[in-house]
């Protein structure tokens, strides 16, 4: 039943594509975007042999060699360092020294010792200092947002200089999605705290956040390193030398932190839920210390180039991206310690390889040049993409668009597609046309509260002012017998960043092939249109990052 329904849909859609006159046909008459090729790439990249492709490991390097040789076999030119397909990214990793973290609350003569993993957990091991140690008064700063233009000031009644700032994770629910995403980011919150003179940050959780992200997920896999990329001057990205501790508190830790506060923790939660700015002294001192071990190494982005055919436009580039790394091995689940990352993001990489192969074999070359970029360090904080976006192997101003693929879920026959970021730039209209051409319905962001537009590699390009899209499957499907939202919700709950994100021959690779075609058409139109893509006038990201 399931299979036959699916075959009919696929057949109907390929007929549609044939009549639409788009150039998706290979010489055999079959669609040139091959479900079988995507399946094969995923099968290899998600094999246990690659041990979860953690940045800096042999498993990741094997995956990189695989992608580089695929690029070579398509006839694409190397686009990395010194005529190779690799752009080496210099990294520092930091691993927490087990048992060396402590957090004391000092309230007059009374000292409370919080227990690591129970009351508190490091937000990230310290990447700057191997030993950090600070004793300071604590001030509370709502969501840690300081932004006159949106009339939200969480630092109004406090002086954070030399102090530790406690703040809620996320941003007010009432914020429109792109603002929510920007202000909810760790980098915004920590940078703002640093700008106000803070020496440490304690992150608190609202009940909604406790529901969204179970504490257990935050305390698992503590042995995995945090990372930052190193610039030539020795600076770290991200790196906040002023900060001596980034810690998350559980409810028990938060309540203890508020033991001397004039405002009870529950009232602070209520005000946060109402989105109200708030700031006050907590009347307590925190002594926190931690230790981490550092290691320096490099790990490559894999870069290939298809030179454009237009004498003028060929100096400009569209960058396709997909992250190649995953989270490696870790705490075993049902006896399985390998976090294979089939959907996250062997699938996106495989789809990008199909896009690359089709560009390389297209009868007419695109006008602009195309870069295909398999990224390292995404799971460690969008690091490989941030490195490339800040140190591109082509002139930065000549990058006109980024098209990213990450965790494209092949759980059902896809009839809807989402292009995250479509509402921000002229790329939205291009995506509309491409979707129509392959017979897919383009739908708006179905879960704005998940702030997906800032959670994958396109955001590194957005921060450099480059209009970007992140193509993903829609939530719903017209295919009979599939409940899209439930399948996605269950997958996110049971398999996201878990060993069960594995290769499965029942994955819907046909959907991956169609989405790859969709993504190909977006790039092809951008490559052949004289005018560069532009941010929409007055767009939030244009205001924040536009050049």
- Residues forming contacts to Zn ion in the complex (CB under 5 A) are 344
Nearer to Zn ion, 344 or 445 (CB): 344
CB of 147 to Zn ion, least distance (A): 29
Find the shortest distance in angstroms from Cβ 469 to Zn ion: 19
For the bound state, the minimum distance from the C-beta of residue 344 to Zn ion, rounded and expressed in Å, comes to 4
Question: Smallest gap, in angstroms, from Cβ of residue 439 to Zn ion?
Answer: 29
- For residue 137, give the nearest of 189, 81, 198, 76 by alpha carbon: 198
Distance CA 99, CA 515 (A): 47
Specify the residue, 54 or 71, whose C-beta has the smaller distance to Zn ion. 54
Please, what is the angle between helix 427-438 and helix 2-19, to 10°? 110
Burial class (CB in 10 A: 0-12, 13-18, 19+), 48: middle
* Residue 273 phi, psi (nearest 5): -65, -30
Burial pattern 150-169, b for ≥16 Cβ within 10 A else e, equals: eebbbbeebebeebbbbbbb
CA distance 144 to 188: 9
Nearer to Zn ion, 146 or 451 (CB): 451
Task: Yes or no: say if 87 and 388 are a contact pair by the CB < 8 Å rule.
Answer: yes
Nearest approach, Cβ of residue 493 and Zn ion (Å): 15
Distance CA 349, CA 41 (A): 8
What's the full length of the chain, in residues?
Answer: 547
Query: Min. distance of Cβ 345 from Zn ion in angstroms?
Result: 7
The residue nearest Zn ion at its CB is: 344
| Token representation of residue 374 | 């398999």
> Measured from the CB atom, is 41 or 326 closer to Zn ion?
326
Residue nearer to Zn ion on the CB measure, 179 or 344: 344
| DSSP letters spanning 366-420 | -SSEEEEEEESSSTTTSHHHHHHHHS-SS-GGGEEEEEEE-----SS---EEEEE
State in angstroms the smallest separation of the CB of 404 from Zn ion: 13
Give a three-class secondary structure readout of 462-516. HCCCCCEEEEEECCCCCCCCCCHHHHHHHHHHHCCCCCCCCCCCCCCHHHHHHHH
The C-alpha atoms of residue 508 and residue 488 are separated, in whole angstroms, by: 13
Q: How far is the CB of 183 from Zn ion (least distance, A)?
A: 22
* CB closer to Zn ion, 161 vs 489: 489
Give whichever of 198 and 507 is closer to Zn ion, judged by the CB atom: 507
- Closest to Zn ion by CB, 51 vs 344, is 344
Distance in Å, CB of 387 to Zn ion, minimum: 18
Cβ partners under 8 Å of residue 545, min gap 6? 462, 463, 464, 465
Pick between residue 359 and residue 459 the one whose CB is nearest to Zn ion: 459
Residue 326, strand partner residues: 54
Which residue's CB is nearer to Zn ion, number 126 or number 344?
A: 344
Contact present, 544 and 462 (Cβ < 8 Å): no
Considering the complex, what minimum distance in angstroms separates the CB of residue 497 from Zn ion?
Answer: 6
């Amino acid at each position: 039943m399931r299979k036959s329904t699916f075959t009919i849909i696929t057949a109907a859609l390929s007929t549609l594509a044939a009549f639409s006159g788009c150039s998706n046909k290979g010489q055999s008459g079959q669609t040139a975007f091959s479900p079988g090729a995507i399946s094969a790439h995923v099968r290899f990249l998600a094999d246990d042999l690659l041990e979860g492709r953690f940045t800096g490991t042999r498993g990741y390097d094997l995956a990189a060699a695989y992608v580089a040789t695929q690029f070579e076999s398509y006839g694409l030119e190397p686009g990395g360092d010194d005529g190779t397909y690799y752009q080496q990214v210099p990294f520092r990793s930091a691993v927490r020294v087990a048992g060396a973290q402590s957090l004391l609350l000092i309230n007059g003569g009374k000292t409370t010792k919080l227990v690591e993993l129970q009351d508190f957990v490091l937000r990230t091991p310290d990447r700057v200092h191997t030993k950090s140690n600070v004793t300071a008064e604590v001030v509370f700063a709502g969501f840690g947002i300081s932004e006159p233009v949106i009339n939200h000031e969480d630092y109004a009644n406090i002086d954070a200089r030399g102090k530790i700032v406690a703040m809620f994770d996320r941003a007010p629910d009432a914020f429109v999605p792109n603002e929510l995403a920007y202000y909810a980011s760790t980098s915004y919150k920590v940078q703002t705290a640093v700008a106000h003179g803070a020496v440490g940050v304690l992150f608190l959780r609202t009940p909604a956040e406790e529901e969204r992200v179970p504490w257990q997920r935050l305390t698992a896999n503590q042995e995995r390193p945090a990372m930052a990329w190193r610039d030539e001057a020795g600076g770290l990205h991200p790196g906040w030398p002023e900060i001596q501790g980034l810690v998350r508190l559980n409810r028990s830790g938060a309540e203890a932190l508020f033991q001397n506060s004039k405002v009870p923790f529950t009232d602070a939660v209520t005000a946060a839920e109402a989105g109200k700015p708030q700031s006050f002294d907590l009347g307590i001192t925190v002594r926190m210390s931690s230790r981490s071990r550092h290691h320096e190494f490099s790990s490559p982005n894999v870069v290939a180039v298809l030179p454009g055919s237009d004498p003028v436009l060929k100096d400009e580039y569209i960058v396709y991206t997909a992250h190649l790394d995953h989270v490696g091995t870790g705490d075993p689940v049902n006896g399985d310690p390998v976090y294979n990352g089939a959907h996250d993001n062997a699938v996106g990489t495989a789809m990008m390889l199909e896009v690359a192969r089709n560009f390389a074999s297209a009868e007419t070359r695109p006008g602009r040049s195309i870069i295909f970029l398999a990224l390292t360090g995404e799971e460690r904080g969008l690091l490989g993409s941030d490195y490339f976006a800040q140190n591109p192997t082509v002139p930065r101003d000549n990058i006109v668009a980024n098209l990213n693929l990450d965790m494209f879920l092949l759980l059902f026959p896809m009839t809807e597609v989402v292009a995250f970021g479509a509402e921000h730039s002229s790329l939205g209209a291009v995506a509309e046309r491409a979707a129509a051409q392959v017979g897919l319905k383009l739908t708006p962001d179905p879960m704005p509260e998940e702030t997906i537009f800032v959670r994958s590699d396109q955001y590194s390009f957005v921060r450099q002012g480059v209009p970007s899209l992140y193509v993903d499957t829609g939530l719903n499907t017209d295919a009979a017998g599939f409940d899209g939202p439930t399948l996605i919700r269950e997958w996110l709950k049971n398999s996201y960043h878990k060993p069960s994100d594995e290769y499965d021959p029942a994955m819907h690779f046909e959907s991956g092939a169609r989405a790859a075609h969709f993504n190909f058409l977006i790039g092809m139109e951008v490559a052949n249109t004289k005018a560069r893509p532009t941010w929409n006038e007055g767009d939030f990201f244009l205001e924040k990052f536009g050049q």
